[in-house]
Amino acid sequence: ELKVEQNPLFLSMQEGKNYTIYCNYSTTSDRLYWYRQDPGKSLESLFVLLSNGAVKQEGRLMASLDTKARLSTLHITAAVHDLSATYFCAVLQGAQKLVFGQGTRLTINP
């Protein structure tokens, strides 16, 4: 059974700093997603990573995928308060089922 693990689960950081969230998964998959969730809200798609070595960037967020290591990273550059949220990675199992990590609750302090 596919397992997806994120770390850290909680992250408190200062504005302007850089940090990385890690997502490990246990079996091969065709694709990996990163989502953002604000409290009480739905899941906002950030990135879809399809192949080994894929790197995508949007603003201060950059995601990468290493399928051989079964590892994805979400890197935050020069964090700002607006990025405070919970971030989930999700791995596609089979053709339709998304298996989510536990989520990383990110708090960015001024």
- Shortest CB 72 distance to other proteins, Å: 16
Closest approach of Cβ 42 to other proteins, in Å?
5
Task: State how far the Cα of 73 lies from the Cα of 34, in Å rounded to an integer.
Answer: 9
Instruction: Check if the beta carbon of residue 108 is closer than 8 Å to that of residue 11.
Output: no
Q: Please report, as residue ranges, which positions from 27 to 46 form the binding site for other proteins (by CB under 8 A).
A: 30-31, 33, 35, 41-43, 45
Instruction: Please tell me whether residue 3 binds other proteins under the rule CB under 8 A.
Output: no
User: What string marks each residue from 80 to 109 as x (binds other proteins by CB under 8 A) or -?
Assistant: --------x-x-x-xxxxxxxxxx------
Among residues 48, 23, 43, 30, which one has the least CA distance to residue 93? 30
Minimum CB separation from other proteins for residue 11, in Å? 16
Task: Give the interface size with other proteins as a residue count (CB under 8 A).
Answer: 22
- Rounded Cα gap, residues 31 and 17, in angstroms: 29
Please state, in angstroms and rounded to a whole number, the distance separating the CA atoms of residues 23 and 40: 23
Instruction: For residue 12, give both structure tokens.
Output: 């408190």
Residue ranges that bind other proteins, judged by CB under 8 A: 30-31, 33, 35, 41-43, 45, 48, 88, 90, 92, 94-103
